[in-house]
Amino acid sequence: MFAIPGIVCLIVFILVRPQEFIPILQRVPFLHLFTALAVLGWVIDIRLRRLQPMSVPTLPLVIAFFAWAIIGTAVVVPDRLIERGVELAILFSLYAVIAHGVQKFRTFQIVAGGLVSACLFITVVCFHQGLADKQCVAGQEGTDGAVNGKTDGRSCDTAEQCLGPDAEPGKEYRCEHVGAFGIYSIEERVRYRGELHDPNEVAMTISAGALSLLIAFALRKRNPVGVVACALCVLLVILTVLMTKSRGGQISAMLVPGVYLVRRYGLYAVVPAGLLGAAMVVLGGRGGMNADVSTELRYEAWATGLSLFKEYPVFGVGARMFGEHHFLTAHNSFVLTLTETGFVGMVLFSSILYLSMKMLIVGLRDLSRVPGSAAVQVWGMALMASLSGILFQINTLSFAYHSVLWLFLGLVGAWYSAIRHHVPEFRVRFGMKDFLLVVAGCVTYAFVLLPMFLRYKGKL
């Protein structure tokens, strides 16, 4: 398959971002190069009839969502049209080449292996960071230096120790764990770089991209050495998630085994799984004043988003423009799409998520007793566990345009395409009842639940 090398390289460069700590790689636009390579490989595979020219059910909705986002940007902020168009085109290409360039479970496993490898690399870097010594980190005065701060090599235990005669004038200092590649923690919460500079996003990404897929690899291999290796990697991922101190990320991590338990034992597994998840959050979650302030600021961002939606109900304020109207991001993907793309955009975005989950549920149900469908079940359960965690945590993260989300939506499409390759008559449709259900859910959320919740919290 000519598309596979480009897809795997694209995943690695999007997540690991080696160009940010290997300067020589910055001379070549690898992101665009691998995107073009993956698309070209897909075209070659189609011409050589290695792939079938079929589309996945979510494709029309994805096209409609990105087209609506571009139209809204053109209407509201035309000066940002080219910039946003390029960003959305890359996300669409990532989704499309994965969903349509992988049509066999053998190649699906190769792509899954590339994703797991990238997530394990991030996990190792973050785990090492959590164990590393603390050093002084200097950022611009008036900011927290969260992204662009630099370490000066001085050891510390508190931020106050970074002040004094050795401190640079006009700098604000933090005392953080400094790990490999100069990446440092935030409030002693481990994190990565690029799109994963937020500890919450790191926790969700390694839970979805490593935890669930490692379980799938263990179930597929079933040899003692492979199972032990996967188990050790799972333990490393869990420990790293705890180091992020992300409450939502820890719940997402618990949802991975929770989905397996509910599938195996039914609703009887919900209570013990919930108690285990609550204990994990209590033991490793972030607490105290900082956590309370973060929660309050998140509610304020939601209130701002709701106010902006009332002002721009049709096209929204434009893709990725929330930050131009508020000092924080929306911290909620549904509020974000409602604000930036209007009600239509929110419906399209929600429809994509709904249909992706429906594809997994229908596929697992209808093919559960079909002989030779072991790969369908193993990878389908892994994707359902991953997507369940993602759907939970995007309620507190601005993830609508995040590459990790569209990568997994593409993987769900690839899983569906692989089923269609072996069972051509298999179909999952997005009918009128599905559409009306999504619209009703969006109306209830935007006009009832969200306003009521914000009034209860005193933000409206």
Question: Tell me, what amino acid is at 274?
Answer: G
213 and 167 assigned to the same domain: no
φ, ψ of residue 153 to 5 degrees: the values are 85, -10
pLDDT at site 145? 45
Name the domain boundary from 120, 148, 178: 178
Contact 37, 2 (CB under 8 A): no
Assess whether 197 and 173 both reside in one domain.
no
Residue 291 has pLDDT above 80, yes or no: no
Residue 225's pLDDT band (cuts 50, 70, 90): confident
Picking from 90-99, 188-197, 266-275, 438-447, which range would have the lowest pLDDT averaged per residue? 266-275
Write the DSSP string, 221-260: H--HHHHHHHHHHHHHHHHHHHHHT-HHHHHHHHHHHHHH
Asked if pLDDT for residue 279 goes beyond 60, the answer is: no
Residue 190: exposed, middle, or buried by beta-carbon count in 10 A (0-12, 13-18, 19+)? Answer: buried
Residue 276: band (very low, low, confident or very high) from pLDDT cuts 50, 70, 90: low
Quick one: average pLDDT of 230-252?
91
Same domain, 137 and 279: no
pLDDT at 312 over 60: yes
Considering the domain architecture, whether residues 160 and 288 belong to the same structural domain is answered as no
Residue 267: the pLDDT is: 61
65 falls within a domain: yes
Q: Is the pLDDT of residue 380 over 90?
A: yes
20-29, 221-230, 258-267: which has the minimum mean pLDDT?
258-267
Confidence tier at 428 by pLDDT (50, 70, 90): very high
Q: Is the pLDDT of residue 280 over 60?
A: no
Residues 69 and 148 reside in one and the same domain: no
Asked if residue 17 belongs to a domain, the reply is no
pLDDT for the residue numbered 278: 55
Task: Indicate whether 107 belongs to any domain.
Answer: yes
> Is residue 183 in some structural domain?
no
Q: Is the pLDDT of residue 296 over 90?
A: no
pLDDT of 384 > 90? The answer is: yes
Same domain for 332 and 208: yes
What percent of the chain shows pLDDT beyond 70?
92
pLDDT at residue 281, rounded to an integer: 52
Total domains in the fold of the chain:
2
As a whole number, mean pLDDT of residues 364-379 equals 87
- pLDDT-wise least confident of 17-31, 103-117, 348-362, 390-404: 17-31
Same domain (yes/no): 208, 174: no
Q: Are residues 104 and 242 in the same domain?
A: yes
Among 178, 206, 241, the domain boundary falls at 178
> How far, in Å, CA of 241 to CA of 113, rounded?
20
Over the stretch 97-118, which tens digit does the pLDDT of each residue have?
A: 999 999 899 999 999 999 999 9
DSSP 126-144: HHHHHHSPEEEEEEETTS-
Residue 293 and residue 383 share a domain: yes
Name the average pLDDT for the chain. Answer: 88
Task: Report pLDDT for 143.
Answer: 47
Q: Residues 316, 168: one domain?
A: no
Maximum CA extent, the chain: 74
Residue linked to tokens 């990790």: 404
Model pLDDT, residue 447: 95
pLDDT in tens, 173-204: 889 999 998 899 988 899 998 889 899 999 99
Q: If you average pLDDT over residues 207-234, what whole number do you get?
A: 88
Pair (63, 167) in one structural domain:
no
Residue 270 has pLDDT above 70, yes or no: no
Q: Which of 85, 94, 17 is nearest to 402 (CA)?
A: 94
pLDDT of residue 26: 80
pLDDT attached to residue 98: 94
Last residue of a domain, one of 178, 212, 241: 178
Q: Among the listed ranges 60-69, 205-214, 279-288, 397-406, which one has the minimum average pLDDT value?
A: 279-288
- The verdict on residue 23 lying in a domain is no
Confidence band for 271, pLDDT divided at 50, 70 and 90: low
Q: Which residue has the tokens 């209590």?
A: 282
Question: What is the pLDDT averaged over residues 216-241?
Answer: 88
pLDDT of amino acid 284? 54
Q: What is the pLDDT of residue 195?
A: 87
Question: CA-to-CA distance for 305 and 326, rounded, in angstroms?
Answer: 9
Q: Listing from the earlier edge strand, what are the strands of the sheet with 171-177?
A: 150-155, 134-140, 171-177
Say what the pLDDT of residue 150 is: 83
pLDDT at 324 over 70: yes
Residue 270 lies in domain: 57-128+193-456
Q: Are 99 and 58 in contact (CB under 8 A)?
A: yes
CA distances from 148 to 139, 171, 321, 445 (A): 7, 12, 21, 37
61 & 158 share domain = no
Backbone angles phi, psi at 457, to 5 degrees: -85, 0
In a domain, 30, yes or no: no
pLDDT tens for residues 248-266?
A: 888 888 888 778 777 766 6
Q: Is 214 a domain residue?
A: yes
Residue 14 included in any domain: no
